[in-house]
Amino acid sequence: MRLELRRAARWLLRAALVLALAAGFVIELWGGRYGIPTWGQLQRLLGFGAGPEPALLQSAEACVTVFDVGQGDAVLLAQGGEYALIDAGTPQTADALCAALRAAGVGRLKLLVLTHPHADHSGGMTEILKSFPVETLLLPPVQGEEPWVRQLVRTRAEKEGTAVAVAEAGQTWPVGEGTLTVLQAGFSAEPAPNATANSLENNTSLCVRYTAGDFAFLDTGDAEAEAERALVDTWGSTLRADLFKAGHHGSSSSNTAALLDAARPAHVAVSCGKDNDYGHPHGSVLRRFAQYGIATARTDELGTLTYLWQDGALTLHTAVETEADAA
């Protein structure tokens, strides 16, 4: 009896594997036609924070996708068929992020950026490096002993043959016909009184700005008020951005009035987990965005957010295929 059960289990496993391979082949070959779903549509059906359809990324002058990775960050820049990924979400969302990238038509990454080594930003890094050819991994600088997470990511990159670079303020990296500029490679000035170890690590975040034509996007990782102040002191009004990825998931320790005064974003994307333990985004920050007249969208409410820049206007597409004019 037991032998028959084992044989039946093996048969069922083989049948399931054959069916899965056949389904994958059909979706890859005919997805989007004859009523067959694409990978992106299938992921949305299953409730994943799926990315945009490939046609959306390829049709715009520039595209920024803020993936729904729960309480974490993962932002894809797309221009001219080239892609850069800023952070890679949590360990729990690594597989879903890789699947969403594939569904969006991403075959390789020009640049993979780690803003800082916290798990909600670095969690999917090794999986990304294993799953996609990556031209360059850009890491934040460190002082003293290298954090083990950063060391793990760097080691995996070297194993995969990915070039590894350490960020410096003023560096520029081409992505398509656009340019990603490192504005601040960590913050090393005197910390605020009673600063926690977590805050100090947040302030080491790489702050970057991506421009393509007239479009500008600003990402400050988890940088907090002190680091934001240094950013404003250095760059001033040249921080201008059409789209801002809210600092530190919308925390009140970030997103200062000084930064908003300098950047003057028309739109902000908040990457945060539904009912997260931190209360992100904080009410005071949402009120500040409203006071500045900034259109705000959140991954915990709308899922993955894809912003398309075309003819001087920004259009928002969400994971549930609703479309809003963000102009």
Higher pLDDT, 265 or 22: 265
Task: Write the CA distances from 161 to 25, 129, 133, 156, integer angstroms.
Answer: 29, 10, 9, 9
Average pLDDT over residues 207-213: 98
- Whether the pLDDT of residue 93 is over 70: the answer is yes
Amino acid at site 158 = E
At residue 27, the pLDDT reads: 46
- Whether the pLDDT of residue 285 is over 50: the answer is yes
pLDDT in tens, 215-232: 999 999 999 999 999 999
300 occurs within a structural domain: yes
Residues 30 and 169 in one domain: no
Segments forming the whole domain that contains residue 17: 1-36
43 occurs within a structural domain: no
Alpha-carbon distance 12 to 163, whole Å?
43
Q: Report which DSSP code applies to 266.
A: S
Average pLDDT over residues 104-119: 96
Residues 246 and 308 in one domain: yes
Residues 130 and 6 in one domain: no
At residue 160, the pLDDT reads: 97
User: pLDDT category, 23, cuts 50, 70, 90?
Assistant: low
Residues 141 and 206 in one domain: yes
At residue 321, the pLDDT reads: 53
Alpha-carbon distance 316 to 324, whole Å?
5
Alpha-carbon distance 259 to 209, whole Å?
13
What whole-number percentage of the chain has pLDDT above 90? 70
250 occurs within a structural domain: yes
At residue 303, the pLDDT reads: 94
User: pLDDT category, 11, cuts 50, 70, 90?
Assistant: low
Higher pLDDT, 282 or 31: 282
Global pTM reads: 0.83
At residue 47, the pLDDT reads: 44
Residues 55 and 20 in one domain: no
Report which of 264, 266, 230, 272 is spatially closest to residue 247, judged by C-alpha positions: 272
42 occurs within a structural domain: no
Residues 187 and 267 in one domain: yes
Residues 258 and 130 in one domain: yes
41 occurs within a structural domain: no
Strand order in the sheet with 82-86: 163-166, 134-139, 109-113, 82-86, 75-79, 62-66, 305-310, 313-318, 323-325
CATH number at residue 201: 3.60.15.10
26 occurs within a structural domain: yes
User: pLDDT category, 325, cuts 50, 70, 90?
Assistant: very low
User: pLDDT category, 169, cuts 50, 70, 90?
Assistant: very high
Residues 307 and 245 in one domain: yes
Amino acid at site 133 = P
